[in-house]
Amino acid sequence: MASWLIAATVTAQPQPGSTVTPAMRSAANEALEKRDWKTAATRFEAIVAAEPKNYLAGGRLGRALLEQRLTRQAMPYLAAALAHAPSPDAALQLARAHAQLGEADQAFAALEEVVKLGGVAAATLAAERDFAKLPPARMKQLISKNEIAVEPCRGKPEYRQFDFWIGDWIVTTPQGNRAGTSSVQLILGSCVLQENWTGSSGTSGKSFNLYNATDKQWHQSWVDDKGTFAHYIGGLTNGAMQITADQLFEGKPARERMTFTRLPDGRVRQHGERSTDQGKTWSTTFDLVYKRS
């Protein structure tokens, strides 16, 4: 749902002694939702007249006027909404108003506020016709900034350390025996790698892999169709992703370690090891090679 529509459904800042009824607010929001801009403007104008400090309602009024190309009438309401009830959408509407008036510098200043306030969906900026006449190179830079604001993981190198594992894979033993298939996808704003594993024996499992900015380590949570759960923690070691989990082995504490190494030919080796002496010695539990399918 578009941010302006979400905002429109919120009952905005009723003021003490106001004559505005819940029915009036509902009717105004309904008109905005239906994109009946003329009716919405009339209804929000009545609300703002009764509640001049209701800046969210003023922003809705400004939006309704803007859509009718009553730009100069819309401008003071949009500016007040951004000043007193700042949001990415409030800044976006003000940027549109400046763009409609041919005020490129002011439009970009408002778009910079969009970014500072968390950004908007990339498709929203790309589809906005009011920005079509703004300088393309400058707009391209702004869109890039907005993408980083919306998806902050995308542009940070630490979140990209495990990207070499992304893809669809046929998984074998080093001897070439098929062990299964794996699909590793980048999800949730480029923050998380989701693994979907299917073993040749019919077993299946999933893992979620995320760089945690708090402890500056990678975390993997693994679950499967046998009820197994494991949580690994680690990070890059000599260019390989190495993560470790504390588990039980034959009823006794053990440490499990997985090392993912990008091979020169683009394949990935996943080497599993176990230690039963607190990491002093390790023995191989599995050795797998991922080849792109």
Cβ pair 291, 269 in contact under 8 A: no
- Domain positions in the chain are 3-150, 158-292
In the chain, the DSSP E strands lie at: 167-172, 178-187, 192-199, 204-212, 217-224, 229-237, 240-249, 252-262, 268-275, 283-292
| CATH T-level topology, domain 158-292 | Lipocalin (2.40.128)
Q: Which residue is it, tokens 């309401």?
A: 77
Cα–Cα distance, 142 to 103 (Å, whole number):
16
| Span 223-267, pLDDT tens digits | 999 999 999 999 999 999 999 999 999 999 999 999 999 999 999
Pairwise CA distance, residues 81 & 87, whole Å: 9
CATH number of 3-150: 1.25.40.10
**90, 99, 190, 208, 217 from 220: Cα distances, Å:** 38, 46, 15, 6, 10
Q: Is the pLDDT of residue 289 over 50?
A: yes
Task: Give me the residue label for tokens 């504490």.
Answer: 253
Q: Tell me, what's the pLDDT at 13?
A: 55
DSSP string, 106-155: HHHHHHHHHHHTT---HHHHHH-GGGTTS-HHHHHHHHHHHHHHHSTTTT
- DSSP letters, 218-233, are EEEEEEETT--EEEEE
Of 28, 68, 66, 31, the residue nearest 48 (C-alpha): 28
Q: What pLDDT, in 10s, does the model give residues 71-128?
A: 999 999 999 999 999 999 999 999 999 999 999 999 999 999 999 999 999 889 989 9
Partners of 253 in beta bridges: 248
More confident residue, 129 or 8: 129
CA 228 to chain centre: 29
Q: How many CA atoms lie within 13 A of 185 on its CB side?
A: 7
pTM above 0.85, yes or no: no
